[in-house]
Homo-oligomer: A and B are copies of this chain.
Amino acid sequence: MKYILVLLFTGLIASAQSPKEQLNLMPWPQSVAVNEGNFTLSKNFEVNITGNPNPRIFGGVTRFLRRLDGRTGIFFKQGFIAKLNEVPNAELQINCTKSGKIGLYEDESYHLEITKNKITLNATSDLGALHGLETLLQMLQNNSTSFYFPASKIADFPRFTWRGLMIDAARHFQPIDVIKRNLDGLAAMKMNVFHWHLVDDQGWRIEMKKHPKLIELASDGMYYTQEEIKNIVKYADERGILIVPEIDVPGHGSAILTAYPEIGSKVITLTGGTSEKNIQGTAIATYGIERNAGIFSPTLDPSNPKTYQLLSELFDEVCPLFPGSYFHIGGDENEGKDWDANPKIQEFKKKNKLATNHELQTYFTMQLIPMLKKHGKQLMGWEEIMTKNMSKDAIIHSWRGPNEGVVAGQSLIDAVKKGYKTVLSNGYYIDLMYPIESHYLNDPMPKGANLSAEEKARILGGEAPMWTELASPLTIDSRIWPRTAAIAERLWSAENITDVANMRKRLEVVSFRLEELGLTHISYKAVILRNVANNQNTAALEEFSNVCEPLKGYTRNIGGTEYQMYSPLTLFADACTPDAKDSLLFDEAVKQYLANKSIENKANVSQFLNKWITLNKDLIALSTKAPLVQSLLPLAKKLSNASEQILNVLDNKSNIKTSELKELVEQCNTKVHADVELSVYESLKKLI
Contacts and interface: CB of A to CB of B under 8 A. Distances in A.
A69 B568 CA distance: 6
Q: Name the 5 nearest CB pairs between A and B, nearest first.
A: A177-B177, A70-B570, A512-B535, A69-B568, A79-B566
Given A69-B568, A144-B624, A567-B69, A80 B220 contact: yes
Contact of A227 (B143, B227, B571): B227
A564 B225 contact: no
Given A70-B570, A75-B563, 10 more contacts: A69-B567, A72-B568, A72-B628, A79-B564, A80-B220, A144-B624, A176-B176, A176-B177, A512-B530, A516-B531
A145 interface: yes
A358 interface: no
Given A79-B564, A530-B512, A567-B75, A626 B142 contact: yes
B522 A509 contact: no
A175 interface: yes
A623 interface: yes
Nearest to A630: B145
Contacts of A516: 531, 570
Interface of A: 59, 65-66, 69-75, 79-80, 142-147, 175-177, 220-221, 225, 227-228, 231, 291, 473-474, 508-509, 512, 515-516, 518, 520, 522-524, 526-527, 530-531, 534-535, 562-568, 570-571, 623-628, 630
A142 B291 contact: no
Nearest to A535: B512
A201 to B, nearest CB: 14
A205 to B, nearest CB: 15
6 contacts: A71-B570, A74-B568, A142-B625, A143-B625, A144-B623, A515-B530
Contacts of A512: 530, 535
B73 A566 contact: no
Given A227-B227, A630-B145, A515 B534 contact: no
A225 B221 contact: no
A565 B79 CA distance: 8
A507 to B, nearest CB: 12
Contacts of A71: 531, 570
A160 B189 CA distance: 51
A534 B71 CA distance: 8
A73 B628 contact: yes
A145 B631 CA distance: 10
Contacts of A568: 66, 69-70, 72-75
A25 to B, nearest CB: 16
A180 to B, nearest CB: 9
B142 A75 contact: no
A561 to B, nearest CB: 11
A176 B224 CA distance: 14
Contacts of A175: 177
A59 B221 contact: yes
